[in-house]
Amino acid sequence: MRVVSGTCKGRALQAVPGTSTRPTTDKVKEAIFNMVGPYFTGGAALDLFGGSGGLGIEALSRGIDQCIFVDKDGKAIQTIHKNLQICGLSERAEVYRNDAERALKAVVKRELKFSFVFLDPPYKEQKMKAFIKVIDDKGLLLNDGMVVAEHDHVVIMDDQIGNLRKVKCETYGISTISIYGYRHNGMEDE
C-alpha cells in the first residue's frame, strides 16, 4: 500500500494490524482519484471510515488542504497517525476515534462543509444510504462536492439519495465505487 500520486507519491503506508479493516487497494485508489480529480487546489475532505488513512492521505497528497479522519478502532487511529507522520501531513489533518454516526453529528455542530466525503465502511456493516442521506440533509457537502462510496460489488446503490445523484459507478473486483454529487461536475453515467 502506497501513496499513488501527488506530493507524497511512492510513500509506503502501513496497514492496520489484524483483519478488522480491508484497505483500499492502490489500483482502486488510483481509479477513485482519476474519477474525481485527479488533483485539487484546496478544499476539505472527510474520511469517515479512515482505516489506515489511505484515501484521505491520497487526497491531501493531491492538493486537498485539510482532512478529518474518523475511525472507531484504536489500532486504525494509531495507524492513521503513523501514516500521516510518514507523509509529513499531520499538521493538515484532524484524527478522531469515534463511530461514524457520532462523528457526523460533531461535524454538523462545527458547521463544516466538505469537497469530498469518503465512505468505505466494513462491507458487512453497510449503512451507506443512511450516511449519504445525513450528508445531504445536514448540508455537509459543498455544491460542487462529491461523496465517494466504496462498497461490495453485490450492493446496488440508488441512483438518487436525497438531493444527491449518482454521477459515476465503476466496479473493480469485489469493490464498487459509487460517486454522488449535486450536479454532474462534468461526469456522465456509464
* pLDDT at residue number 124: 67
10 located within any domain: no
Position 19 in a domain: no
- The alpha-helical segments, DSSP class H, found in 68-185 are 74-87, 100-109, 128-137
* pLDDT band with cut points at 50, 70 and 90 for residue 125: low
Residue 7 has what pLDDT?
96
Structural domain contains residue 14: no
pLDDT, mean of residues 142-160 = 93
pLDDT in tens, 64-83: 999 999 999 999 999 999 99
Please check whether residue 3 lies inside any domain of the structure.
no
> What is the span of the domain harbouring residue 173?
26-181
In a domain, 143, yes or no: yes
Mean pLDDT score of the chain: 91
Task: Give the pLDDT of residue 22.
Answer: 66
pLDDT band at 184 (very low <50, low <70, confident <90, very high): very low
Give the global pTM: 0.92
Number of C-beta neighbours around residue 147 at 10 A: 26
Residue 113 falls within a domain, yes or no? yes
| pLDDT of 171 above 80 | yes
Which pLDDT score is estimated for 189? 44
pLDDT of residue 34: 92
Q: Which three cell numbers stand for residue 26?
A: 492502490
Here the CATH number for the domain that contains residue 64 is 3.40.50.150
Q: Distance of CA 172 to CAs 143, 146, 147, 176, 179, Å?
A: 28, 20, 18, 6, 14
Instruction: Give a yes or no: residue 69 inside a domain.
Output: yes
**Number of domains present in the structure of the chain:** 1
Region 160-189: mean pLDDT is 84
pLDDT by residue (tens digit) across 84-95? 999 999 999 999
